[in-house]
Structures are given as C-alpha cells and as structure tokens.
Chain A
Amino acid sequence: MQALRYARATSIDEAVRMLREGGETSRILAGGTDVIVQARERRRVIDLFVDIKHISDVMTMEYDAQRGLTVGAAVPLYQIYGDANVQRVYPALRAAAHVIGGKAIQGRASLGGNLGNASPAADSIPAMMVLDGVAQVAGPNGRREVRVDAFCTAPGRSVLQPGEFIVSLHFAQPAAHSGNAWERFIPRNEMDIAVVNAACALTIEGDVVTAARFSLGAVAATPLMVPLAAEALVGRRLTDETIAAAGAAAKETATPIDDMRGTVKQRKHLADVLVQRVIRAAVEHARAN
C-alpha cells in the first residue's frame, strides 16, 4: 500500500475541511471496497483517506410516501436491499444492491461509493439514473445537487470538483402505476463485472406507457440514458413489437468496445435483450402497484 494517512470526520463540515486541507490526493473513504483496492494497486494516488462513516447524514436512510427515498452516501448495500420500502417501491435499486460483489462486499459498499467511483459498468448507476436520482454534494463552496444522469463524465471521472463529495442520494416517489427494474448480464452467476446492465422505470395507464426512462451500463464511456428507447415506448401500447422497438433503440444507442469482458457485437445484442427484459419486469411491477 502506498503511504497514506487516515482521518475520521464526524460532520460534513469537518469532512469538507479535511478534504480541503488534504488537497487533490485526499479521498473519501466510504465502504472502501473500490478505493482501498485502488490505493493498494496504485491505480490512484492517494495520501489521505477521509472516513465519512461516522457522519450520521451519510449513514441514514429515510423513506416517505410523499417525499420518496433518501439514502446516505455510505449506507451499506445490505441495508438498502434489505429495506422493505426499497423492495416494494424501488426494486431496480434493490436488485442492483443485492448483487454488487459478494455478501462481504455488500456489508460495506455503498451507492455513494459506486457513483463516486464512476465506473462505466457500475451496477447501481443505471438504476439510480432511471429512478431520477439526485445526489446531494458537499464541498468547499457549500452544497449543491447533481442529477445522477449527469454525474459521470468519463471512466472514473465525474462532475465532482476537488474537495466535493456525495452526502446522500434522493429518489422521488414514483407516480401511481409505475414500475422499475434492473438486470445485468455476467458470465458467472455472482462476483462479476457487468458485461451490460440495464434499468427501466416506467408508468402505464392500462396497456399504454405514459412515461419511461432507460439506462444502460458498460456500453459506453459512462452509464448512458437511452431516450430513444423511451421514445419507442411512450404513448404506445405495450406489445411484443413496441418492446422490441425499445430494445432495438437500446442496441442502436449503445457504443461499446471490445475488451476482456465482452465484445461490441455481444454488448449491443445484450443491450437489446436486457432492455426488453427490464421492460417486462417493470411492467409487472407497475401492474402490482
């Protein structure tokens, strides 16, 4: 491990101050499942960890049927997937949180960490994107809000400015008759990086889709929104054809690369397959609401 120091913040202001004093090579330590490994493998230069897990705002989760869900940035995944409200209202989030890493990772890893790490293949980001997620960010210039779908800018990079960090994530209460879903494809049945992941949130009236949001991961330099897939569906009746059209739009939108985890051909195809699958699952969820 590269030489580094550790500091424990007990308030957001203190964390902001520590990050400011630490400069550009200081990093937030939430669950640590990415950043500790990156420091060890020297993939990031880090000389100070600021541990935010002793700040209550980043460790609490709140749900209200009007205001929706607020999840502290460092709330571990097991609390998220184990929460009855998350399971009922935000199954896309629940599904992603349930399969990131193994159980020992889920004891620590968090949504804030997954988003802050800004991996193109991050499992929770597409789910947060379709759920209209908004990140509360704190920094040297105070607080601001950043939409999750505008957060990532490149692999490992985000709109966060030096000294800024994610405090919490907010998800609005979905409208009536809404549903959401998330799926990924991995070669193993667990412990893998997504070859492609996909999420969908939609609202239906009878058989007609009145609103829809789609997101794909691992098919571009950042997780992608897929407005073309939404266009293919919104205002239309749910049929095999319209669902297939949304899948085809996802395939068109995807601009993946060939790498050790998959090929362009495979990823474009999987974008299509997974988008169709998440539509069907989201519709099922919407109908159950």
Chain B
Amino acid sequence: MVATPEKPVYKVIGTRPIRPDGVDKVTGRAAYGADIVLEGMLFGSILRAPHAHARIVRIDSSKALALPGVKAIVTNADFPRQESGTLDLGEGTANPKWLVDNVLAGDKTLYHGHAVAAVAAIDWHIAEEALALIEVEYEVLPFVIDVKEAMLGTAPILHSDLRTNVRARGVDTPTDRETNIAMHMRVEKGDIAAGFAEADIVIEREFTTSQFHQGYIEPQNGTAYWNQDGQITVWTSTQGSFAVREQVATLLQQPVARIKVVPMEIGGGFGGKIPVYLEPVAALLSKQTGRPVKMWMPREAVFQATGPTAATWNRVKIGAKKDGTLVAADVELCYAAGAYPGSAVGAGVMCALAPYNLANQRIDGFDVVTNTPKTAAYRAPGAPASEYAVESVVDEIARALDIDPMVIREKNAPEEGTTNSAGAPLPRIGAKAVITAIRESAHYNSELQGEDTGRGVALGFWFNGGMESTSSATVNPDGSVSLILGSVDIGGTRASLAMQLAESLGVPYEQIKPQVTDTDSVGYTAVTGGSRTTFAGGWVAYELGQEIRKRLVERAARIWGVDASTVTYSNDAVITGTDKDGKAQQFTFDEICKRFPTTGGHVAVTVSSRKNTTGPAYAGHIADVKVDRDTGKVTVLRYTAVQDVGTAIHPAYVEGQIQGGAVQGIGMALQEEYWYDDQGRLRNGSFLDYRMPVANDLPPIEVILVEVPNPGHPYGVRGVGEAPIVPPMAAIRNALRDAIGVNFYHTPVTPTRILDELLPRE
C-alpha cells in the first residue's frame, strides 16, 4: 500500500473486520428479494414481445383469464396515464411516460423482450402457462439496432414526438423533423484549431463497443401488497429504496406517504438495479387481486429487458507535440440509449479526456434511441467506452513518438487545479501518484516472457458521487450503537459505515450494529451507486459520531454539575473533566452508557446531509496477454490494478471492489457482448452465450492501493467501486497491439475478431 504522509493513524479504519451480514450470507439465511414469503401470496409472470419493433394491434387475455388459478392480468392500459416529465433517480433521470411504457409497453413494443402483459396466478407454473394463452396481434415495424444507422434520416423512427436540435459541425438541423437523436451535448474549452496547429502528430480513429450487461447473478424481482387501506408495501432487491418509492409513486400516481419500500438483500446491481421493472406491475396485480404478488425475472428476460450499457460509436482525434505533450482533442461520442432516451453519454463526455491535462478540447455527445433494451447505469456509466477510445489513441501516439506509454501519461497528467473538460478546477487528486505507483511497480518493471505476448496500460477516471444520505444511531446502555442506514448494502457498506462511526466515536467496530431499513424508518437517502455510499454515508457516520460525542459530553457535564465546555471526549472514547467539587472525573464510553436510564435517558441522533464535494478517483491498469495465433485465444497472463482510493476504510473490501471491477472490464475487453440476429432479436440472453468471465479465465488480479486522502471527507475517503472498470478495455487492447502488432477498433476483441485479423483476407 502506498500511503501519503497526510494519513493520520486510525484505530478502526484500515482494519479488516468481518461484515455484519456475513454469517447470514454463508448460511443461506440472508433474505434476498425473491426469498420473501407472504401469506396468500400470488406469483406474477410477464409476457414479452417477440419482435424488435412492433405496433400492438390487439391484446386478448380472455383465454388466459379463464385458466384455473389465474387471478389477474394487467397491461399498460391499467396504469394511470402519464405525461412527459423528469424524475431524478440519483444515477440518471427518468421520464415517467417512458418509464411506464418500458415497464409495460404502450402502443408499441420497442425491443425484443419488451414487456407486454403481466399475469398473477396461484403458482408460478400457472402464471407462466397463462402467458402462452394471451393472444397479442402485432404489426411488425422496421427496426434499427446500430447507433450510426439510427442517426440517419432514413432510419425507422422509434418515437414520433422526439425532436432535437443538433449542432454538429456548426450546422443546426431543423427541429421540426422526426429523429432518433434524443440529445446532443457539446463541451468545449480552449481553441482546438490553434491546438491542432501546434501539433507535430495528429491521430484520428473510430471505435465501436458492443452492448454489455451488468450481469448481476440475482435476477430482478419485486413483491408488492396493496392493502385495502390504500397502503402499498414493496419488497425488492434495489440499489435505492427511495428511488423505487419515487418511481412506484409516480407510475401509480400515489403519494409517497402511501408507499413503503423494504429493501431486501441485493444480489448485485452495478447500476442496473435502480430503475423499476417489476415492482409497479406487482403493485397493480396486487390491487386487482387484493393479495400480495411476487415476481422475479427469468434470466433471459434480465438480458432482454433490463439495463445493458449503450453500444457506442466514437471518434477521437488527438494532437501531440514531439515531446509527447497533448495539445488538442476532438471527440465525438454516439451512444445507443436503447428504446428510450437516457444513455450515459453525458458522463462519457465528461470522463473521456479526464485522465489528461489538455488545454484545447471539444467533445460532442449524442444520445440515440435504438430498438434495444433501455440502457441503465453500469459501473462508471458511460466512462469505459469514451475513455477506451481516448486511451487507445494516446497509446498509438506514444508508439508513434516512441515514448513509454506511462511517460506520456505522466507528462500530461492532471493535478489539483487542472480544469476538467467543462473548465472547472479539479480538487486534490491522485493521478500522478497512481502513475508513479505503476512506474515503480514490480509488474511494470518485469520482463515479458514468450512469443506473442504483450503489455498494455491505460488510465481511468470516475467522478464519484456525493448526494443525500440519512442515518440514525441509538446508543444503548451496554455501549453498543444501533446504526440505522438508508443506503442499501450491495457489497460491504454496512461494514464500511459502521467502521467510520466506530472511528468517529473511538469505540471498537464490534460495538456498532448497522442495519439497513425501509423508507418509512429512515430519512431520505439516495441510491447506492456512483461510488458514493462509503464516501457520503461515511460523512453521515462521522457526523453521527460527532453528535453523539457532544451529547455524551453534555451528559457527563450534567452528572458532574459543570459546564459542557470543560469536559472533553478523547479519541479513545474517554470522557474527562472536573466535577463541581473540583475533583477529576472520567467516564469510559461504556460507563456513561450504563448511566443513561438514570441520567436523562438514551441517546439517539439522526443526521441527514447532502455532500456535493466529491473525491474523483484515478485508476491505472497493467495487462499482460498472450495470443494463440492459431485460434485467436487470448490468455491474460498477469494483471495489476492501481488506484487512488483516498483512504481504504476496509482494505479487503476495497481490493474486492477493484478486482471485481477489473474483471468486469476484462469481460468487456475480450468476451462479453450482446448478439442480435437479422430480425433484431437478442440471441444470447443466457449465461452460456453471454460470456462473463469464469474463475479459470483469469489470473489473480493484483491490486496496489494508493492513498491520497480526499480533502473533502473527514477520513479522506474516495469512492472506489467504479473507476476500476474503466481501464481494462484499453489496457488489454493496447496489450494486444504489443503482442501481435494489430490495433483493434472494436471491443470486445473476441477470438473471432482476432482470427479475422490474423488470417488472410478471403
């Protein structure tokens, strides 16, 4: 671990305790969304569209309703009518009209697998059987999958009401024309013409990336009970219980006061479990039947209908001086949002050039609708594709100028005060520290062995989120502290937040009892996403600790009959002072807690805070690969992920985040992708043919933690979860160039594509 001198000595932070939810998870007792059982519960199932694009002419549910055991069938028409608007989901926004049409299709189905109707029945077999009895007449329409084709004037139009002012190449397009381009954004700084004029070398390349799925192992689920008093309870696996409440309230046009969302344990999300799919449908079915309704998605439906990433087409032009100084960049990003607008192109734009201090730049981003599932956030949403393109071009520039790839990155690295693409200055960041750690690493200084082997590097940037969090803490007479969290725990935040409260109080971690609770039992808390929870939730934990310290000091002062200002609370949780008789007194934390019942009651505090000071994360990865020229197979020989994590609260969980993110990135780099047939149907919606890495596809992922404390956090925390998925695509692509001399411009680089390059053209 590389620590900066500023890191103080902590007692709890930096240790590796066992997570509070651990025992339940290794014994099978942890209750995930699909594990809920309610008295009288019905089972729901969803009928999905077989076409890429079709108008729904007629739905006849009569035969299905006649099947014994079927209790209700709903379609889009059963939802209240929605107008267009904006709903903030934390990591992205949603338009209620589009959201409801995605949950159950309106007049058109816009992608293969789009939900059309839902059944509730007394068991899951009957619910599924009923689907086959629902008759749907479709008028099949022309479709478009490819993002560039979708942007053409001749493309089939998904939404007849979409109009966008596009200013590409300085020309405004008419805004009275139907289009699939949902949004055009441009970010500029400096003077790119002047910048390119200074350049000794200019490289311009085009890149495409396939669609990738988050690939959480737990399918989406949702259970709802619409009580006769109008109260709606929703149990679900979600990254944001309040985001679910907001969406369900909007789609059902019910006040939030009527809705309680109970977040169950969540089996992975990676951004994909923020939008609702089943919850509002289960609620409607429950309303019609008066019984709780549980739904869960078959895996194929998860691939067909829940948020993959955008497939992208990107153009990057970068100019550099002979010494490697980057002087200008012109970037164009086109992201396929899927059936409804709202890809992560905005974040793609802001991240594309973030690893560099580059004075003259212009980035255009296009959000484009296509006949593919509505995209959702996926770990550093939007960033991997844009940074992959930039990191590939920088690699080609380094090669052309014969400069070490890390030297060129060091030369152009951003630091505190460097402005980002929008011209705002960066806070203290660890880009240079990461680069130094790579250059000094054993891996980077090792020799590559064997034929057809290569090494690649790439950097990655992610903003990290802030936003709103709430927690409550109750101090018990035995000295334990119940910590109530609004943030759902997707990968260890119960532990990381409890550790920060323990640190703040100066008590052992074991005394903190964290618990995630429902939306009626804690204040508003944004989604667990954007790498924000350990950062922003940690702020709250810290403030809870400070407030408890203050209350305990006041309590001691009252017991001793003195003014609170004369009493101190040490970092070892010892309260010291002098009583009114002038006698030195002290309480340990546990001692004062024991006195609660007789000295004014228990101490309970709640803190809400909104933190918009975030600590951006920089990552840099080193990949060694070997290519089998006969088969096109790539073996990742060695892989190292380096990242500035600010302060590693629980280093093992931080490493785990980085390893997991890196492996998802390796999957995108080499083997994962959506595959549509010539009818626009997704053909590989299974874990067999959507090839996520398996255990023996990978070497150990070595992790080097760099700690440049974030000045915007009491413990220096930066979010860590997302940055590690950014570098792998470019690191591996650059390693392949090193191994076999081929520059690839599409990812994933599958054996098929490698052989295609290596074999003679036919």
Contact = CB atoms under 8 A, between A and B. Distances in A.
B566 interface: no
A192 B300 CA distance: 17
Contact of A269 (B129, B687, B759): B759
A25 interface: no
A193 B129 CA distance: 30
Interface string B743-759: 00000001110011001
A109 to B, nearest CB: 14
Most chain B CB inside 10 Å of its own CB: which residue of A2, A185, A187, A266? A187
Interface of B is mostly: loop
Interface of B: 125, 128-129, 132, 300, 630-633, 671, 675, 677, 683-684, 687-689, 691, 693-694, 696-697, 750-752, 755-756, 759, 762
A190 B696 contact: yes
B694 A260 contact: no
A192 B694 CA distance: 10
B698 to A, nearest CB: 9
B694 A188 contact: yes
B689 A261 contact: yes
A10 interface: no
Interface string A33-55: 00000000110000000000000
B694 A190 contact: yes
A41 B693 CA distance: 25
Contact of A187 (B129, B132, B671, B675): B671
A187 B688 CA distance: 11
A13 B633 CA distance: 48
A265 B697 contact: no
B673 to A, nearest CB: 9
Contacts of B751: 185, 187, 195, 266
B671 A188 contact: yes
Nearest to B128: A1
Given A2-B129, A188-B671, A265 B756 contact: yes
A273 interface: yes
Interface string A255-289: 00000111101100110010000000000000000
Nearest to A2: B129
A1 B632 CA distance: 39
15 contacts: A2-B129, A187-B633, A187-B691, A187-B751, A188-B691, A189-B694, A192-B691, A193-B688, A193-B689, A195-B751, A260-B684, A261-B689, A265-B756, A266-B756, A270-B631
Nearest to B697: A189
B498 to A, nearest CB: 36
A191 interface: yes
Contact of A273 (B300, B630, B671): B630
Contacts of B675: 260
A184 B296 CA distance: 36
Nearest to B693: A188
Given A185-B631, A188-B671, A188-B694, A263 B688 contact: no
Contacts of B129: 2-3
Contacts of A273: 630-631
B693 A265 contact: no
B759 A260 contact: no
Interface string A11-41: 0000000000000000000000000000001
B750 A187 contact: yes
Contacts of A195: 751
A266 to B, nearest CB: 5
B752 A262 contact: yes
Nearest to B671: A187
B572 to A, nearest CB: 51
Contacts of B125: 1, 3
Contacts of B671: 187-188
A2 B132 CA distance: 10
Contacts of B694: 188-191
A95 to B, nearest CB: 16
Contact residues on A (Cβ < 8 Å of other chain), bracket: 20 to 34
Contacts of B756: 263, 265-266
Nearest to B761: A265
A257 to B, nearest CB: 12
Given A3-B125, A187-B633, A260-B683, 13 more contacts: A185-B631, A185-B633, A188-B697, A189-B694, A189-B696, A189-B697, A190-B697, A191-B688, A191-B694, A193-B688, A260-B675, A262-B752, A263-B756
Contacts of A42: 132
B290 to A, nearest CB: 27
B693 A266 contact: no
A210 B755 CA distance: 34
Contacts of A191: 687-688, 694
A120 B691 CA distance: 20
Per CB-CB distance, the 9 closest pairs between chain A and chain B, nearest first, are A260-B675, A189-B696, A273-B630, A189-B697, A266-B755, A266-B752, A260-B683, A188-B691, A260-B684
Contact of A192 (B630, B688, B752, B762): B688
Contacts of B683: 260
Contacts of A269: 755, 759
Contacts of A262: 752
Contacts of A187: 633, 671, 691, 750-751
Given A1-B125, A2-B129, A260-B683, A266 B632 contact: yes
A260 B689 CA distance: 8
A265 B759 contact: yes
A261 B631 CA distance: 14
A80 to B, nearest CB: 21
Contacts of B300: 41
A167 to B, nearest CB: 29
A3 B687 CA distance: 25
A2 B129 CA distance: 7
Nearest to B758: A269
Nearest to B126: A3
Contacts of B691: 187-188, 192
Contacts of B696: 189-190
A263 B752 contact: yes
Interface in A116-149: none
Interface in A173-203: 185, 187-193, 195
A7 B160 CA distance: 55
Contacts of A193: 688-689
Contacts of A1: 125, 128
A265 to B, nearest CB: 6
A44 to B, nearest CB: 15
B433 to A, nearest CB: 35
Contacts of B632: 266
B699 to A, nearest CB: 12
Contact of B762 (A185, A260, A265): A265
Contacts of B762: 265
Contacts of B687: 191
Contacts of B755: 265-266, 269
Contacts of B128: 1
A203 B315 CA distance: 57
A240 to B, nearest CB: 14
Contacts of A189: 694, 696-697
A262 B125 CA distance: 35
Contacts of B693: 188
Nearest to B675: A260
A263 to B, nearest CB: 6
Interface in A223-282: 260-263, 265-266, 269-270, 273
A188 B634 CA distance: 10
A172 B13 CA distance: 67
Contacts of A261: 689
Nearest to A272: B630
A120 B620 CA distance: 44
Nearest to A264: B762
B540 to A, nearest CB: 42
A188 B633 CA distance: 9
A119 to B, nearest CB: 12
A273 B755 CA distance: 12
A72 to B, nearest CB: 27
